[in-house]
Structure 1
Amino acid sequence: MAEREGLVAPARRPVEETMNIVDWGKFEVELFDIDSENIGEELQKQPALLAFWSVRLADAETLLQESKYALEQAEAVAWVRVKAKLRREELDEQRGRVTEADVKAEVAQDPEVRSAQEALMQDEYRQRQYRAVVRALDQKGIMMCSRIKLLIAELEATMQKRRLSNVQPKQH
């Protein structure tokens, strides 16, 4: 009946391999470590890492929007189907008057709706994970800049000490 009314839930597209939820147990913490001995190399890698994870975050946000749309569509299809079924039962006098609460309760138990809700929850979780990685990489960049400023200050202080020690007092 729902198909006749023009409401068809869109098929959920398969999640790309790159969009799997991050398994933090296997995730290398080195991504967030700063090797102060190779700060130049760290600085060179940072933009690529940030770009990579930012793209993954953008993909996750797109999937999240698609999941929200799929849930809305699944609920609309289920609503039409459930309401028609309950109305038939009402007309056949198998049940009392159909209320909106009756329809909502049945729609909430619909397998397509529940599947769409689960997909939405996974996509929300994935998006939060990637957002956390991007934020951590932003922080890593800030920390590297601070570390470089500190190293520069230490170098300047050392050079100043050397200049002062090379200046000998004039003897009269």
Structure 2
Amino acid sequence: MNGGCGTRALWRWRGNPLRRTEDVLEAWVVLAVWVVVAVGGTLVGVLAGHAADESFARQRAERHAVRAVLVTGSSPIPAGDSAVDGRAAGRVRWTAPDGTAHTGTTLVDTGLKAGTRVVVWVDDRGGLTGEPPDRTAATVEAVLFGGAAALGLAGPVVGIGALLRWRLDRRRIDAWGREWDLVEPGWGHRTG
């Protein structure tokens, strides 16, 4: 069996007498788009996912749960008002890891009375912050960020490839029109 048979089958348009320069360019454009989307998309997705995962890990390391006391009661808020998932803003007092007392506003469960103990999240300086995502949520978000980054690369690359192929099609159509203008008069009008 001929060793070049596979290559000939893969590039069968290579020996075609109807092949044009635009056909070869289009083949390279399609190949380049696939390579950039497959290799570049994978690389960008992995890097973005890894960066997001590191960011979430850093948040878990820098944020700490501390006990706080609710300074004002958190009255039940009717649905649709400023409550978020059954929680409302409440004023709390807590002691930072360095021993200093702080007060601030954070989301607490609705219906709690002043003096109720609640858990709040603080950063290394003792300031209020949000709860960091747990490992499972962080992994899901990192995967979503990675996928979004890969799609963010693939979209423009596929769009540029489609634009280039459209331009090559226009060049082919224009060339066919010019060639038809040269050939058609020689055919004349033949009828039965």
Q: With the length of structure 2 as denominator, give the TM-score of the two structures.
A: 0.42
Higher RCO (C-alpha 8 Å, min separation 6): 1
Larger fraction in strand: 2
Tell me which structure has the larger Cα radius of gyration: 2
Larger fraction in helix: 1
Q: With the length of structure 1 as denominator, give the TM-score of the two structures.
A: 0.46
